[in-house]
Amino acid sequence: MSSAVHHTDVLIVGGGPSGASAAISLLNYSNCSVTLVEQSDFNQTRVGEHVSASIFDLIDYLKLSKSDFEEDSFIPSYASKAYWGSDLVRTTNSIFTTEESTYQMNREKFDFKLIEVAAERGATIFPRTKCIHYEQLADKSWKISLSHPEQKSFMIHAQYLVDASGRSGNVCRKVGAPSHQYDILMGVGLFLERSDTYFEHILESVDLGWWYAACLPDHKMVVTFFSDADLISQNKWHQLEAWKSQLQKTKQIKLLFDGNQALSNKLWIRNAQTQMSDVRSIDRFVAIGDAAVSFDPISSMGIGFAISSACFATKHIAQELEGSAQTIDVFQEDIVRNFNQYQQIKSGYYQKEKRWPDSLFWQRRHQNR
Ligand SMILES: Cc1cc2nc3c(=O)[nH]c(=O)nc-3n(C[C@H](O)[C@H](O)[C@H](O)COP(=O)(O)OP(=O)(O)OC[C@H]3O[C@@H](n4cnc5c(N)ncnc54)[C@H](O)[C@@H]3O)c2cc1C
């Protein structure tokens, strides 16, 4: 067992888009030293890929441009089709944005590039590392014990702690920041090799949830079913055969599925619930990205928020560590304001589907106004 202590100004837990963007932003605009801890080896399957064009303004703030990303990291999408509320198609540019085009991205390439840039610009990165214990010292700095399969145990001493651990909100839970979960939505999906056909991304509601299909870069496509965790478990929709029979209830998505080869015979399954945490009771600590607010994937807001929340939060962190007054509460208050707006828009969208008044899934959405 090693007793080495690694010192850093800011420790970021989680190497998704929010964690990597926070690291880059701090390294671009402050003198803070940055350490990022990621539990995986960065090779896990990433899901969620539809973004608005404003993602490139955020990337620009990180001092990157679209051309810095590997070829085929993004493909444009000029419209979305929704079979929602009726069997008739409604075509819009995008549900929640007014931009002319949106993009489908290759998440693995996108996330990996951000991490690579964070490392190049000076972040110390510990992959395959787990935080075991968090302790806040009298001077408000943090002492964290960690474990790595080869390095075994070690300690990090940090002036500021950032939870970028995604929907799990791991760090918030461990340090006692309250979090509220608003639903129990989950996504169960499959990636497919796409034959040459290109289609705009499609939403289709069914009696107990909704389906999503989209073309991805590199001749892939994704098909996902969203429903509530208890319904998925009762109906075994996490098992391929049951998932496929549920797919047969769709009128459009099943047509896209046919003729394309699945890349795995195992479905991936992810939590997709709306939740928000509140970190105001804890000094020198903030949550960003999904750890701060997890949006319903129907909004396509998660990745943009992951990066923008990272950029805003790190401004406050740098100011505080450089001796200015603590202003992180302003950030949290902005989050609450934006979250309330999002809840209204989301609720309005779910209200448009009224075809299954006896369905538990839709009743829950209509009650959650
Ligand atoms: C099914 C589905 C579809 C979605 N579709 C879209 C979409 O189309 N558009 C969109 O904008 N958003 C979408 N989202 C949301 C989007 O994926 C997230 O908002 C985004 O990934 C959040 O980034 P993040 O960095 O906050 O968290 P994540 O991307 O979840 O990254 C968190 C990282 O932290 C690591 N980690 C977790 N715990 C620890 C720990 N204790 N120690 C160390 N590391 C840890 C994880 O391994 C992971 O690498 C979707 C989400 C789901 C579930």
Structure confidence by residue, pLDDT tens digits, 78-89? 888 999 999 999
Distance 46 CA to ligand 1 centre (A): 8
Tell me the pLDDT band of 286, cut-offs 50, 70 and 90: very high
Q: Give the pLDDT score at 368.
A: 58
Distance 290 CA to ligand 1 centre (A): 6
Distance 355 CA to ligand 1 centre (A): 32
- This prediction has a pTM of 0.95
Tell me the pLDDT band of 290, cut-offs 50, 70 and 90: very high
- Which residues pair with residue 216 across a beta bridge? 220
Distance 16 CA to ligand 1 centre (A): 6
From 77, 107, 165, give the residue whose CB has the most ligand 1 atoms within 8 Å, as the site to mutate: 165
Q: Give the pLDDT score at 1.
A: 44
Distance 19 CA to ligand 1 centre (A): 10
Closest residue by CA, ligand 1 atom 37: 165
Cα dihedral value 66, 69, 70, 73, nearest 10:
-70
Instruction: Give the model confidence (pLDDT) of 64-113 as tens digits.
Output: 999 999 988 999 888 889 999 999 998 876 545 555 678 999 999 999 99
Distance 5 CA to ligand 1 centre (A): 29
State how far the alpha carbon of 156 is from the alpha carbons of 2, 3, 9, 25, in Å.
12, 10, 10, 21
Instruction: Give the model confidence (pLDDT) of 169-198 as tens digits.
Output: 999 999 999 999 999 999 999 999 988 778
Q: Give the pLDDT score at 149.
A: 87
Distance 64 CA to ligand 1 centre (A): 21
Alpha helices by DSSP H, listed for the chain, are 17-29, 55-61, 107-120, 170-175, 229-235, 240-247, 253-257, 302-321, 328-351, 360-367
From 39, 51, 147, 215, give the residue whose CB has the most ligand 1 atoms within 8 Å, as the site to mutate: 39
Instruction: Give the model confidence (pLDDT) of 102-142 as tens digits.
Output: 899 999 999 999 999 999 999 999 999 999 999 999 999 99
- Closest approach atom of ligand 1 to CA 21: 25
Closest residue by CA, ligand 1 atom 16: 302
Closest residue by CA, ligand 1 atom 4: 48
CA 142 to chain centre: 26
Instruction: Give the model confidence (pLDDT) of 352-369 as tens digits.
Output: 999 999 999 999 999 855
DSSP state of 36: E
Distance 299 CA to ligand 1 centre (A): 14
Q: Give the pLDDT score at 235.
A: 98
- Closest approach atom of ligand 1 to CA 272: 53
Q: Of 225, 255, 260, 244, give the one whose Cα is nearest residue 361.
A: 225
Tell me the pLDDT band of 333, cut-offs 50, 70 and 90: very high
- How many whole angstroms separate alpha carbon 201 and alpha carbon 94? 10
As for ligand 1, residues whose beta carbon falls within 6 Å of it are 13-19, 37-40, 47-51, 130-131, 164-166, 168, 170, 187, 224, 270, 272, 289-291, 297, 300-304, 306
Distance 167 CA to ligand 1 centre (A): 6
Which option is the CATH number for 5-77+103-182+274-347: 3.50.50.60, 3.30.565.10, 3.10.20.70, 3.40.50.970?
3.50.50.60
Closest residue by CA, ligand 1 atom 26: 289
Tell whether the model's pLDDT for residue 348 goes beyond 80. yes
Tell me yes or no: is domain 185-272+356-364 CATH 3.40.630.40: no
State how far the alpha carbon of 363 is from the alpha carbons of 87, 135, 174, 183, in Å.
20, 43, 33, 12
Cβ burial, residue 173 (10 Å; 0-12/13-18/19+): middle
Tokens 């009726």 belong to which residue?
86
Q: Of 200, 238, 215, give the one whose Cα is nearest residue 93.
A: 200
Domain boundaries, the chain: 5-77+103-182+274-347, 185-272+356-364
Query: How many CA within 13 A on the CB side of residue 279?
Result: 30
Tell whether the model's pLDDT for residue 219 goes beyond 70. yes
| Amino acid at position 208, single letter | L
- How many whole angstroms separate alpha carbon 139 and alpha carbon 325? 16
- Per-residue pLDDT, averaged over 26-43, amounts to 97
Q: Give the pLDDT score at 99.
A: 55
